C-alpha cells in the first residue's frame, strides 16, 4: 500500500510534467488564462459599487478555476476508463490506489500552476488588489480545502457519467452553477432562491474565499451580510469534502468492478465505428 | 456462467499444472474471454468452483494479484508515457512481493526486443511494438501465472517468431504457467503443452497437439511423381502405402510429399462436429 502511494505520487508528477510537453494540453494551460487576462484588461476601469470590476472578478475566477479541477478529474476518469488505463491499474497490485493518488497530484498540480499563470500577470494588470501575509494564508487554506472538497466530487461524476457525450452534458449544469455562484457579478444581485442555490455550491465558497484573501477589507460591503464568512466557508467546503470522500470510494469501486478486457474492447469497437461512420 | 437467462459456460472443467502452457481455442463467442476474465478475477461467475494459485479469484486480495500477470490488449492508454518510464512505473508496484521483483527494466526490454524503443513515447510505437510492451507490462512483476488473450494479433511473421521464442523461454526457464487464447492454430501447436477446445460454452476436446491431430480420422495426403506423371492420393495410413510404392517403383519415385492432418484440420473437424 505504501509502495503504491509512492508510485502514485511519482505517477502524478509524470502526468503533470507531461501536460507541459504536448501541444493540446499546453494550449489548455495557457489559452484560458490568456483569455481571462485579456478580459480583465478590458474590465480594469469599469466600476461596481465603488470598486473596480476587474479587482472583484480576478479572485473570483481563481476560485472558480480551482473548483473546475473537479471537471478535469471527471473527464480524465472517463477517458482513462475508455482507453484501458483503469483496467491496467486494476490488473496491478494496489494499482487503483496509485492511479487515484496520481490523478489527485497531477490535477492539483495543474490547478496550482494555472492559478499562478492567471494571478501573476493579473496582479500587474488589475489594480485595487491587496496582497498581505494573512491573505496568502487564507488563499492556501481555501485552496487546499476547496480541492479536497471538489476533486472527490469529480471522481464521483466521472464514475457515474461514463461516456464522453455524457461528460459533455454535465458541462451545462456546471455553467449554470458558475452563473449563479457570484463569480462574474455579486450573488446578492440574484433573486433570493437563486442566491440560496448558489450558496450550496463549492464554487461560490471558493470564489468568496479567494476574494477575502486578495481584496482590501472594504470590498466586503458587496458580499452577503457584509462578511467574508470564513467559518461558513470552512463549514460548507468541509461538508462537501466529507460527503465526497465517503461517496467516492464506493462509487469508484463499483465502477472499477465492471471493468474487464472485453468491456474495453467493446468500447474500442464502438469508438472505431463512430470514427469511420 | 450466465448472462440474463442464457448460460454461456457449461461444465467447463480443467486444471493447469505449474509451468504448463495451456491454449484455449474456439470460435468467436465460444466463451474464451469469459473464461479468462473469470480466472483473472475481473468477472464474477454465476455458479461453479474456481481456484487460481490456490485462491478463489472472486475474493482474492492484492497479494494474489501480484502473482498474476495479465497481458491486456492496449489501445491508446499511456500514449504520452515513454516506454521505459511506463515499465519502471508498473514494476514499482511489485517491489514488496519478493527480492527478484520487479524484473529489471533493461533485461525485460531486451527480452521483448524493445531496447531500441526505450525512450520512445508509447503512442509512436508500431502495432507490433505496442503488443510487445503489453507483454512486458504483463511480465514485469515476474508472475507465476500469465494470461495472454490473443497475443499475436497484428504481428508480422518475424515478430510472431520472436514472440513465440520469448513465450517458450518463459515457460522453460522461469517456470511460468501460461494460459493463452488464440485463433492462430500453428501458434497453439507450437507453444502449447496442452490444448482445450471450447465451443458454445463447453469443452469439446482436450489434449496435446499430437493427441488432437491423431484423434481425428482424416486421410493423409500423399503426392509424388513417376517420370513426368504427377500422382496424388488420399490414404488413411500412409506408411504401408509408401513402403509398397517404393517396393514397386524403387528409384523412379520422385518429389515425395506426405501431409498428415494438421491441428487446424483437427480443430475444424471437432468444432464442426459439435455445431452440426
Yes or no, beta carbons of B93 and A14 under 8 Å apart? no
What pLDDT sits at residue A150?
95
**From the list A6, A21, A262, which residue is nearest B33 (CB)?**
A262
For residue B5, pLDDT over 70 is answered with no
Contact B72 A21 (CB under 8 A): no
pLDDT for residue B104 is more than 60: yes
Task: List, for residues B10-58, the tens digit of each pLDDT value.
Answer: 777 888 888 899 999 988 888 888 889 899 998 888 888 888 999 999 8
Q: Report the pLDDT averaged over residues A40-53.
A: 78
| A46/A117: higher pLDDT | A117
Q: Tell me, what's the pLDDT at B243?
A: 94
Please state the length of chain A. Answer: 277
Cα-Cα end-to-end distance for chain A: 45
State whether A84 and B96 contact (CB < 8 Å): no
Domains, chain B, with CATH or none: 2-211 (3.40.50.300), 214-275 (no CATH)
List of chain B residues whose C-beta atoms are within 8 Å of the C-beta of residue A98: 93
Establish, for the pair of chains A and B, how many residue pairs have beta carbons separated by less than 8 Å.
Answer: 82
Distance CA A123, CA B78 (A): 37
Count CB-CB contacts under 10 A for residue A23.
7
H or E stretch covering B195: strand B194-199
pLDDT in tens, B213-257: 888 778 889 999 998 999 999 988 889 999 999 999 989 999 999
pLDDT score, position B118:
95
Predicted confidence at residue B276, as pLDDT, reads 52
- Determine the residue of chain A that is closest to B92 in CA distance: A7
Using CA coordinates, name the residue in chain A closest to B58: A257
pLDDT computed for residue A263 by the predictor? 80
pLDDT of residue A28: 78
Does B42 contact chain A (CB < 8 Å)?
Answer: yes
Give the mean model confidence (pLDDT) for residues A110-118: 92
Looking at residue A235, its pLDDT comes to 96
* Chain A residues touching B76 at Cβ < 8 A: 83
Q: A265 pLDDT band (50/70/90 cuts)?
A: confident
Nearest CB partner across the interface for B93, out of A21, A92, A261: A92
End-to-end CA distance of chain B: 24
Per residue in A172-194, pLDDT (tens digit) is: 899 999 999 988 888 888 899 99
Q: How confident is the model at residue A276 (pLDDT cuts 50, 70, 90)?
A: low
Task: Using an 8 Å CB-CB cutoff, list chain B residues near A81.
Answer: none
B140 near A CB under 8 A: no
- Average pLDDT of chain A to the nearest whole number: 89
Yes or no: say if B9 and B167 are a contact pair by the CB < 8 Å rule.
no
Whether residue B272 is predicted with pLDDT greater than 70 in this model: the reply is: yes
Please tell me which residue, B173 or A142, carries the higher pLDDT value.
A142
Q: Considering chain A, what percentage of its residues have pLDDT values greater than 70?
A: 99
Say if B92 is an interface residue toward chain A (CB within 8 Å). yes
Inter-chain residue contact B89 with A92, CB threshold 8 Å? no
Q: How far apart, in Å, are the Cα atoms of B116 and each of A264, B122, B125, B276?
A: 29, 13, 11, 50
pLDDT digits (tens, 9 = 90+) for B180-212: 998 888 899 999 999 999 988 888 889 998 888
Give ∠ CA B254-B258-B264 in degrees, rounded to 5. 150
Angle between helices B105-112 and B83-92 (to 10 degrees): 120
ipTM of the shown complex: 0.86
Classify burial at A39, counting beta carbons within 10 Å of its beta carbon; exposed 0-12, middle 13-18, buried 19 or more: middle
Nearest CB to A84 within list B63, B75, B141: B75
Segment A46-61 shows an average pLDDT of 83
| Interval A227-257: pLDDT, tens | 999 999 999 999 999 999 999 988 988 888 8
Q: Do A259 and B42 touch (CB under 8 A)?
A: yes
Q: Look at residue B6 in the predicted model and tell me its pLDDT.
A: 58
Helix (H) or strand (E) holding B265: helix B263-275
* Residue B276 or residue B17, greater confidence: B17
> What is the mean pLDDT of the segment spanning B149-160?
80
Alpha-carbon gap, residue A213 to A232, rounded angstroms: 15
Does residue A126 or residue B180 have the better pLDDT? Answer: B180
Interval B72-95 mean pLDDT: 91
Nearest chain B residue to A85, by CA: B77
Supply the Cα-derived Rg of chain B in whole angstroms: 23
Q: Do B85 and A84 touch (CB under 8 A)?
A: no
**Spatial distance between the Cα atoms of A47 and A151, rounded to a whole number of angstroms:** 34
**Per-residue pLDDT for A39 more than 70?**
yes
The average confidence (pLDDT) of chain B is: 88
**Higher-scoring residue by pLDDT: B230, B276:** B230
Rounded to an integer, the average pLDDT of A119-142 is 90
User: Quick one: closest CA in A to B85, which residue?
Assistant: A14
Q: Would you state the cell numbers that stand for residue A68, as one nine-digit string? A: 473546475
Could you report the per-residue pLDDT of B89-102, keeping only the tens digit for each? 999 999 999 888 99
What are the φ and ψ backbone dihedral angles of B45, each rounded to 5 degrees? -85, 155
The confidence band for B8, taking pLDDT boundaries of 50, 70 and 90, is low
Please report the pLDDT score of residue B274 as a whole number: 64
Amino acid at each position: 500500500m505504501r509502495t503504491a502511494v509512492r508510485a502514485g505520487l511519482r505517477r502524478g508528477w509524470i502526468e503533470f510534467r507531461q501536460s507541459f510537453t504536448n501541444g493540446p494540453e499546453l494550449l489548455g494551460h495557457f489559452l484560458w488564462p490568456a483569455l481571462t487576462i485579456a478580459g480583465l484588461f478590458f474590465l480594469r476601469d469599469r466600476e461596481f459599487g465603488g470598486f473596480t470590476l476587474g479587482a472583484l472578478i480576478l479572485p473570483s475566477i481563481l476560485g472558480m478555476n480551482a473548483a473546475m479541477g473537479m471537471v478535469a478529474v471527471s473527464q480524465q476518469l472517463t477517458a482513462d476508463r475508455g482507453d484501458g488505463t483503469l483496467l491496467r491499474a486494476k490488473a496491478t497490485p494496489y494499482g487503483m490506489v496509485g492511479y487515484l493518488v496520481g490523478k489527485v497530484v497531477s490535477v492539483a498540480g495543474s490547478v496550482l500552476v494555472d492559478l499562478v499563470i492567471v494571478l501573476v500577470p493579473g496582479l500587474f494588470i488589475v489594480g485595487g488588489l491587496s496582497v498581505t501575509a494573512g491573505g496568502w494564508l487564507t488563499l492556501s487554506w481555501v485552496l487546499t480545502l476547496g480541492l479536497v472538497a471538489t476533486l472527490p466530487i469529480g471522481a464521483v461524476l466521472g464514475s457515474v457519467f461514463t461516456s464522453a457525450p455524457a461528460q459533455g452534458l454535465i458541462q451545462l449544469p456546471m455553467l449554470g452553477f458558475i452563473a449563479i455562484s457570484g463569480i462574474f457579478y455579486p450573488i446578492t444581485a440574484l433573486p433570493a432562491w437563486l442566491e440560496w442555490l448558489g450558496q450550496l455550491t463549492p464554487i461560490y465558497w471558493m470564489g468568496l474565499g479567494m476574494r477575502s484573501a486578495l481584496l482590501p477589507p472594504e470590498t466586503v460591503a458587496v458580499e452577503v451580510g457584509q462578511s467574508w464568512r470564513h467559518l461558513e466557508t470552512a463549514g460548507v467546503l468541509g461538508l462537501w469534502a466529507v460527503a465526497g470522500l465517503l461517496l467516492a470510494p464506493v462509487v469508484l469501486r463499483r465502477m472499477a468492478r465492471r471493468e474487464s478486457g472485453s468491456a474495453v474492447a467493446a468500447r474500442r469497437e464502438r469508438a472505431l465505428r463512430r470514427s469511420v461512420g | 456462467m450466465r448472462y440474463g437467462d442464457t448460460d454461456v459456460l457449461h461444465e467447463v472443467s480443467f486444471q493447469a499444472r505449474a509451468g504448463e502452457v495451456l491454449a484455449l481455442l474456439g470460435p468467436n463467442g465460444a466463451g474464451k474471454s469469459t473464461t479468462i476474465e473469470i480466472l483473472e478475477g475481473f468477472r464474477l461467475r454465476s455458479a461453479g468452483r474456481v481456484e487460481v494459485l490456490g485462491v478463489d479469484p472472486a475474493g482474492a486480495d492484492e497479494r494474489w494479484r501480484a502473482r498474476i500477470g495479465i497481458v491486456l490488449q492496449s489501445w491508446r492508454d499511456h500514449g504520452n508515457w515513454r516506454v521505459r518510464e511506463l515499465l519502471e512505473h508498473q514494476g514499482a508496484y511489485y517491489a514488496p512481493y519478493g527480492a527478484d521483483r520487479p524484473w529489471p527494466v533493461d533485461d525485460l526490454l531486451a527480452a521483448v526486443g524493445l531496447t531500441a524503443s526505450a525512450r520512445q513515447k508509447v503512442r509512436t510505437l508500431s502495432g507490433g511494438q505496442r503488443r510487445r510492451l503489453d507483454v512486458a507490462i504483463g511480465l514485469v512483476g515476474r508472475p507465476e501465472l500469465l494470461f495472454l488473450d490473443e497475443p499475436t494479433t497484428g504481428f508480422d511473421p518475424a515478430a510472431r517468431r520472436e514472440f513465440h521464442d520469448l513465450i517458450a523461454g518463459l515457460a522453460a526457464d522461469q517456470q511460468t504457467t501460461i494460459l493463452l487464447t488464440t485463433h492462430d492454430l500453428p501458434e497453439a501447436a507450437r507453444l502449447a503443452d496442452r490444448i482445450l477446445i471450447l465451443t458454445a460454452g463447453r469443452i469439446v476436446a482436450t489434449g496435446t497437439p499430437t493427441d488432437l491431430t491423431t484423434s481425428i480420422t482424416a486421410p493423409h495426403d500423399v503426392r509424388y511423381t513417376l517420370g513426368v506423371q504427377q500422382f496424388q492420393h488420399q490414404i488413411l495410413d500412409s506408411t504401408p502405402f509408401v513402403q509398397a510404392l517404393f517396393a514397386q517403383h524403387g528409384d523412379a519415385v520422385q518429389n515425395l510429399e506426405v501431409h498428415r492432418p494438421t491441428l487446424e484440420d483437427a480443430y475444424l473437424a471437432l468444432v464442426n462436429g459439435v455445431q452440426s
